Every structure is written in C-alpha cells, then in structure tokens.
Amino acid sequence: MMEQKTLVMKFGGTSVGSADALRRTTRIVRDSRRDWDRIVVVTSAMAGVTNLLLDSANHPAGALNAERSLREKHFSAAEALIQNKTTLAETIREIEGLIQVFVKLCNSIQILGAGSPRALDAIAALGERMSLRLLTATLNDAGIAAQGVEATEFLVTNSNFQNACPDFNATRKKTRALLNPALDAGNIFVTTGFIGANADGAITTLGRGGSDYSAAIIGSVLPADEVWIWTDVDGVMTTDPRMVTSAKTLSEISYGEIAELAYYGAKVLHPKTIRPIVEAGIGLRICNTFNPAQEGTRLTAVRKKSKRVIKAVTAIQKQRLVTIEGRGMAGVPGMAALAFGAVTSTKTNVPLITQASSEQSICFAVPSETAEDVLNALKTTFAHELEESKIDKVWSSNDVSIVTVVGAGMQSASGVTGGIFSRLGEYGINVLAVAQGSSEVSISVVVNANDTENAVKSLHELIVH
C-alpha cells in the first residue's frame, strides 16, 4: 500500500481576513487535495482581531465598540460565504457565544482593575477560536469535508501564560490520537494556531505570531511531510520591499539563514518555527495566498552552492543600546552574569551583545519600550559598584536599529566584513556597535534610527542577483 502524504498548511490573518481572502484559502485547500492525502489546516485570527481583543482587555471601557466590530467582521464574512442556512445559523451562534465570553472577561478585568496573564490569554485566544468556526463552516459549505477542533484539545504547554512552551511528548501522544483518525477518514483537519492548553486545561498562547509555531509543532509531532506557511508576501525577500523597491523573493534559503532573518526582524516567519521543523527533518515552504501560482520560498537543511555570498538584509527598529562601563570592571568575574541576571528579571529580550576586549564595558541592545526598566534593574543590581566607582555609569542611547546581513556564503568568503563597512562608509553611516555570531551566517551592525533605511539600501546593493 502506498504511504499517504501529510501536509500542514498555516493561513495567516490576512489569508482569512475577509470573505474574499477566505474564498482564496478555500480554493487553495481544495487544490491541495489533488497532491496530498492528509491535510491539516492551521488558522490564525482574522487580520486585526487579536490586536482589537488585547486593546479592549487593556482598556475595557472600549469593549462595547470591539464587540460590535467582532460581530460585523465575522458575521458579514459568514453571510457572504455560507449558503446553507442551518450551517450559517450554527456558525453565527457559536461565534456569538465566543463574543459573549469576550464581553464577560472584559467586564471582569474592568472590575478588578487589571487582567492577569491567564485572563489575557483567554481573551487573545478568542480570535483564533472564532476563525476556526468560520473557516471550517466555509470549507464544509464548499463541499470540502472538514473537521474543526481547537488546539487546546491536543497541544499541551506549560503554564507560562502569554508565552507558553509546548510539552512535545504529551502533545505528540494527543495529536496523533486525535488527528490521525480524522485524517485517515479523508477529512481536512482544521485547528487553531497560536493557542494551546496547560495540563489543567487552561488556555495558553505561544506568543504573538505563534500560529507559525503551532503549524511547526503539529507538523513535527504527526509527523507531516511538509509544512506550508501561507501569508501575504511571495516568500522570504532579500529585504523589506517597503524600504527597497528592488527587493526580490528568494526561491530557496537554508534553515540557518532563515533562523537569523526571523530572529533579526524579518516578519515572514515566527523565530521559534525553525527548530521543530529541523529536528523532524520535514520540508518548509512559505507562499502567498494572494499569488498561489508563485512558488514562494523553500527552506532547505543543506545550503546549495550559490554565487550569492549575502542572501538578505533585515532590520530591527526601535532598539536602544544599554552600556555598563567602568575601569573597575576589568578582570572581575561574574559582572556579565550579574548584568544579564538583572535584565532577565525584567523579562527583556537581548538581541545583540558586545564587550570591549579590555572588559571595561558591556554593551547590549534592548527594545526601546523596556530600556527604562532595564536601566533601573541594572542600577539596583550594581548599586554597591556604582557607589564605590567600580562602575562609572549605566546608560542607554537614543533609538537605534540593528541591521543584519545574512548569508551562509559568508562562512567561506573573505572580505565580507570589510565590504560591509566600506559600503556603509560610502553612505556616510556611522556604526555604533558590531556583532557576529559564531555560525558566521550573519553580521549585525547598530546604526542610528534615522540611518536605518539608508543602511539597509546600501547593504542590499551587496547582494548579487
């Protein structure tokens, strides 16, 4: 008997964001049935819905307007897509029930004065839960047998609300037990991205943009043969086309390269998506719902030889450089550990670190909105050292950007770093800090915020098309 092939497809918010987008998604699912025996569809919330939900959670007084918007957005799409009156009525009834859950949660937050992480996850999850009902009903109404089940039924996580981590062993057992019978029966299995549940059944979320990660988790534990991420761009591009109009789509990119791009600001893929895909040894493709004829970008485990040394340029904006400096730091063990312990206490991500060889300063980047909290934590941690002048000062810069050049070809090419600095110098761009990972797949430079676009443009010219 020929082995059946399994495909996991994730559709982003814009891919399910309107009646027209949902029609396109339905066609893509139907067309995929020609080549794939078993298909899992992972859906995001409709575009803009998660932001609307969380804004209302933070400002519950606006929940009434949000309630109207949610009803209008979902009901109008349902009425445009679902012809069967019974199916339409049932879909609207279920979505209305979720809207009422949202209203009750917002009322509770307003009474308490603040929402707990658990309550915020319950609210944030509602967008995917509504989208699941809408997409499943749309597929069934179009004659495509689909079974919709929330990921809370099989994706098991820890209790780190708002940024939960999956329990892969527990998830593997539950996923196979629940999904395989539906898939073997010939049904499309539709589920929610972004959300899971802890061991007690409480809803958790995987962090913003986590639907990509959901697809990767499901694909790895089934396992699937491939995971396709459907979005609103043609794949991974050489840079942000809003900054550089000559940006091109890459037909192929290695896992190492996309991991660097995802980490350093390329929004086409959630950074955590890569690991489960790599470990499971399955294929990954990024494609455009609104241009399905375009092949998109395929991710490969092994980099093929290419004349491109540099593949892409990306930028993380709205960062600040935090510096700890003092002659008393030299040769003192544990200073860096203390510094990053303080940063960890603020739950801040550090995308870039540099340290002077003299050990008289440590410099690292943090998101601008957390810089003040980080500075306060550092000053508290090093209060004694500051008082005794072992540390002269702890300070942060104005807004900066981290511009990163990515390409596995840099591992074997000489003069790349020199070319980067020469090009930036030609554009009159001052480099504030530099970092290169040990993998040699990327080089990052920190520039002033107002130099971001010119820096990206200048370095993009180094890519050989």
Domains of the chain with bracketed CATH = 6-232 (3.40.1160.10)
Residue 21, C-beta contacts closer than 8 angstroms, at least 6 positions apart: 14, 15, 289, 290
- What residues are paired with 249 via a beta bridge? 237
* pLDDT given at position 176: 98
Mean pLDDT of 96-101: 97
At 257, the pLDDT band (50, 70, 90 cuts) reads confident
Q: What whole-number distance in Å separates Cα of residue 339 and Cα of residue 336?
A: 5
Q: What whole-number distance in Å separates Cα of residue 417 and Cα of residue 238?
A: 18
Q: What whole-number distance in Å separates Cα of residue 211 and Cα of residue 45?
A: 9
What does pTM read for this prediction? 0.85
Q: What whole-number distance in Å separates Cα of residue 403 and Cα of residue 305?
A: 25
353-400 pLDDT, tens per residue? 987 665 688 999 999 999 999 999 999 999 999 998 889 999 999 999
120 vs 334, more confident:
120
Q: Which amino acid is at 259?
A: A
* pLDDT given at position 358: 57
189-244 pLDDT, tens per residue? 999 999 999 999 999 999 988 999 999 999 999 999 999 999 998 888 899 888 99
Q: What whole-number distance in Å separates Cα of residue 349 and Cα of residue 346?
A: 9
59-87 pLDDT, tens per residue? 877 788 999 999 999 999 999 999 999 99
Q: Is the peptide bond before 166 cis (omega within 30 degrees of 0)?
A: no
Residue 465 has pLDDT above 50, yes or no: no
The closest alpha carbon to 157, from 149, 148, 166, belongs to 166
Least confident of 26-40, 117-131, 335-349, 435-449: 435-449
Mean pLDDT of 304-313: 76
